[in-house]
Structure 1
């Protein structure tokens, strides 16, 4: 984007998101003035899209974007020429590389999840021009299978993350006579003590 004005941001949302992929159910943005304005309110209202603002100083609100940025910025930095500020020329190639790479969490590339096929890369062997007839619901079946496998892969990754976390965590051991805090369960005043103890 040439600048971060409200008009440019709104134009990008319409042309690069809505007209290419359809209207999202929810649009999550930061609280920049280019997103927090009457023009953006009018667009999201007209399109029937809920506009949600990420909480300031709470990157977890927009976790997928933060994770993307953590991967994306180092790639862009490798290509960036310190003497010339033309990083925007490398953006499409970096985004395509990110989108065509397999992600450990889902087991698929974002491209494959979006289009139900792998991208054709410049170094791939050309395929024959023969196409086989497929049943009418072929793409629906493929998409459904990918969704099932994606969910399965996410659950597997969550379990793996839990196992890694649990390995690092030692269960506490208590002995008779040890002083401990006891968590107060049930109703308590808003600013009341959370624990009672020695």
Structure 2
């Protein structure tokens, strides 16, 4: 994408996602202005796609994307020349390496899960050719493989998620807040080195879901949704 304007982003969603792979049931994005606008809202409404916005300053909401970034960025950083700023010259190669590599979470490569076969890469040894006796045998075999992959991947992902959850939850319990409670919110982004870590107080309006609350600034009356990990009770500050 040449830029991340609302128009360019909407065009990418339509041409490179919807028209190639169909309409997703759910679209999860951050709260950037190129996603949160009238044009994107019209597209998702017309297509019947639910648009979910990740909680601000809590990348775990969009965990799969953040996990991809954590793997992808270091690879790109190793290859490009900082003095020339030629990172885009290595972008395609890094994407191919990511898509053809086996992922620890799923146990398969993204390429294999998409096409139900291993990729043939340059310098690979010749692979065995499968001979099918009937033309429709190919679909039968692919369907069987894809169903097998889905079962295996579902199990592997669930297993890894449980491990991650146990590590995250170890010795930690999320507090419960109620409407009217006064809280401070942990600040993110640029701030003075010795500046306040928390801002507020804010008033809790309602619990959006188990890990996010809608809060209102006591002075400006501006409301925002924040993750529970950023909230600190006033009496504990």
Shorter-chain TM-score: what band?
0.7 to 0.9
Relative to the length of structure 1, the TM-score reads 0.75
2:122 is aligned with 1:119? no
Q: Distance in 2 between matches of 1:81 and 1:135?
A: 45
2:151 is aligned with 1:143? no
1:86-119: CA deviation from partner (whole Å, max 9, x where unpaired): 2122222111111111111111111111221111
Structure 1: stretches of 5+ with no match in the other structure: 171-187, 192-198
**Residues 78 and 38 of structure 1: is their aligned pair in 2 closer, same or farther, counting only changes over 3 Å?**
same
Q: Distance in 2 between matches of 1:110 and 1:15?
A: 21
Range that drifts further, 153-162 or 21-30: 153-162
Q: Distance in 2 between matches of 1:117 and 1:130?
A: 11
Larger Rg: 1
User: Deviation at 1:153?
Assistant: 2.4
Equivalent position of 2:220 in the other structure: none
1:151-173: CA deviation from partner (whole Å, max 9, x where unpaired): 2323444566678x5xxx79xxx
Equivalent position of 1:68 in the other structure: 68
Range that drifts further, 116-125 or 153-162: 153-162
Task: Output aligned runs, 1:84-123, within 5 Å.
Answer: 84-123=84-123
Structure 2: stretches of 5+ with no match in the other structure: 172-177, 182-237
Equivalent position of 1:82 in the other structure: 82
For this pair of structures, how many residues does the alignment match?
171
Q: Distance in 1 between matches of 2:68 and 2:148?
A: 25
Relative to the length of structure 2, the TM-score reads 0.64
